[in-house]
Structure 1
Amino acid sequence: MMTQLAPGVTRVATTKRDNAFLVAGDDGLTLVDVGWESAAGALLAAVAELGHKPGDVKRVVLTHAHPDHVQGAATLRRLTGAQLLIHRADQPWLAAGRVPAAGRSGAFGRLIDRLPKLHWTPTDADATLDDGELVENSGGLRVLHTPGHTPGHVVLLHEPTHTVLLGDAAFNRGRPALGPAALAADPALRAGSLARIPEDVRAVGFAHGAPLAGREAETFHAFLSRQRAVVARNRGPLSPQV
C-alpha cells in the first residue's frame, strides 16, 4: 500500500508495521529506508505505480543501521543500481552486518541482536551523510543528525513541503511516542535529539505507524513540546557561575 504524504513524498507500507518513503528529486527517486529483505517487492511495485523503473531510484538514504531499516539494502542496490547513503557514525554497523552489543542500552535489545534473522548482508555505503547536509538531487532532503536511537540516526526534512521523515526518532502507536528504551543505544540522548526537529512541520512520516498531516500534525507538535519540557526538567536548573 502507498499513499501520498506530501507533494513529491510517498509513503510505502512494506509490512503492516513498517514504512519506507519515496521522494521525487531532480534526477529520479530517493528511497528513504529499505526495510527487511522481504520488502524489495513492495518497494519496486510502488516505484512502478509511480510510473518509474527500478533504475530511476538513484539513491537510498538509510536513517540508521537497524535490521528493519537496512536488511534489504544490498538487494535494493543490486536491483536498482542506487547509491547507499548513511550517517558516518552508523557506517561501521552497516558494514558489520549487525548491531553491536554496545548498540543497545537494554539486555533485551542485546539478546535479540544475537538472532541471525536480525542480521543483514555486510554492506559498505557509497557515501556518508553529515548533519545539515542537503542530499544532492534529492528534491530538498535536509539531514538532521538525531543520535540516541543509534549513534548515526538521522531525520530527514523535506524542505519544500515542511515534511519530516523520522526514522525511529519517534513512533506512532495511535499517538506519537518514543520507542522502547532497551532498543536504543542512548535513550537520554535520543530524547534530547528531538529538539533538532522543527516545531512547525506540516506532515510527519513515521517508519512505524500512520503518518500525520494537516491538523493531525498538531499532535506531533504537542509531543515535541512535551518531550522538550521533560528534557529540560531532567536537566534541572543550571548551576550558578562563580
Structure 2
Amino acid sequence: MALHKLDGYIQSIFLAEHTDGFMLLDGCSRPDVSLVISFIEQTLGRKKEDLKLVVVTHMHPDHAGGANLFRKLTGCKLAAANVSGQWYGGVSGTIMHWTDIALAQYVAKRKERPFSRIWYARTLSPDIKLEDGEKIPGFKEWTAHFTQGHTDRDLSLHHISSDRIYIADLIVKVKDKYFPPVPVSYPNRYKRSLEKLRQLGPKEVILAHGAETPIEMIDFDYLLQRAPNEPLTQWKVIWKNIHERLLFNMFKKKDRP
C-alpha cells in the first residue's frame, strides 16, 4: 500500500493506493475533485475508475464537499459511519451548512487560495454504512473506528499493517501545537474518542489539518484539559473573537492621550 499526500484546497488529502484500486480517506473539498482525478490519471498513470471508494469521515465542507461529485465522475462507492439522520438536517442544519461553507471560504482566503465554488449537497446517501471496528469492504487492511465528538458521526481509519491511523479532525495542529477542533459538538464523546485513540496506540496519527505525526508527539492529557465541558460551536468562537476585539479597541482608545 502506498499512501499519497496531496495539498488540498484547505486540508491535506490522503489517497491510499492498492493493487486493485484506490481508497480516498476523505471526501475532500469540492475544488479538490479535479486535483485528485488528475493525480490518478496523469501522475500515477491509472484510470479515474480505479478510485473504488471514498470514505466520508464527517459532513463538513472539506471532508464531504467532493464526495457526490467523485461518485458521479468515477463510479466509486461512498462509505460513512452508520449513524441515523443527516448532520445538516432540518432548518437549523441548513443554517449550519451555510455557516460552515462560509467559514471554509474564510479559511481559504486566509490561506490565500483563489476563490472557488465549494457549495455541495448537505445530505449524503452512502453506499456503505460502516460500523465501529469494521474492516472496510474492499480494503480489508483498513479498520474504521467511531471517534465522535467533533460531530456525531466522525470516523478514523486505521491501516493495521503500517499502524497508521487517519483521524480527520479529531485533533488539529496549529503552529506546531495540537488542539481540539472547532466545533466540539459532543464534549463527552470527544473525550472518550481521545482516550480511545490513546488506547489504540498507533505508531502514527494522520491529521487532515496537520501532518503524519508520531503518537508520542501527542499530549493527550493536554488535549483532555483543553477539551470543552459544554458544546463549543463555531458561533461561540466567532462571538468570543468579536467580543475580545471590541474590548481591545475600547481599552486602546482609553489609553490614548
Q: Normalization by structure 1: what TM-score? A: 0.75
Alignment of 1:54 with 2:52, yes or no, is no
1:217 Cα shift?
4.0
Change (3 A) 1:101 1:190: farther
Give the whole-Å Cα distance in 1 for the aligned partners of 2:203 and 2:137: 23
Q: Deviations over 1:167-210 (max 9, x none)?
A: 11111222222112xx2321332122111214532222111122
SS at structure 1 position matched to 2:78? strand
Q: Deviations over 1:39-89 (max 9, x none)?
A: 112211232323321111101111111121111111111111100000122
- Retained in 2: the 8 A contact 1:25–1:139? no
- Retained in 1: the 8 A contact 2:65–2:119? yes
Give the whole-Å Cα distance in 1 for the aligned partners of 2:39 and 2:101: 32
Change (3 A) 1:156 1:102: farther
Correspondence 1:114-133 to 2 at 5 A: 120-121=120-121, 122-133=123-134
Task: Tell me which residue corresponds to 2:16.
Answer: 23
Unaligned runs of 5+ in 2: 106-116, 230-257
Alignment of 1:39 with 2:39, yes or no, is no
- Retained in 1: the 8 A contact 2:55–2:79? yes
Task: Tell me which residue corresponds to 2:250.
Answer: none
Higher relative contact order (CA 8 A, sep 6+): 1
- Retained in 1: the 8 A contact 2:81–2:154? yes
Root-mean-square deviation over aligned CA pairs: 3.0
1:8 Cα shift?
2.1
Give the whole-Å Cα distance in 2 for the aligned partners of 1:226 and 1:202: 19
Q: Deviations over 1:98-132 (max 9, x none)?
A: 466767xxx9x688248597752243111211000
Q: In terms of Rg, which structure is larger?
A: 2
Task: Tell me which residue corresponds to 1:177.
Answer: 179
Give the whole-Å Cα distance in 2 for the aligned partners of 1:57 and 1:31: 8
1:37 Cα shift?
1.1
Match of 1:112 among 96, 99, 124: 99
Aligned residue pairs: how many? 211
Change (3 A) 1:100 1:26: farther
SS at structure 2 position matched to 1:142? strand
Q: Which amino acid aligns with 1:184?
A: V
SS at structure 1 position matched to 2:209? coil
Change (3 A) 1:204 1:228: same
Unaligned runs of 5+ in 1: 1-6, 235-242
- Retained in 2: the 8 A contact 1:22–1:31? yes
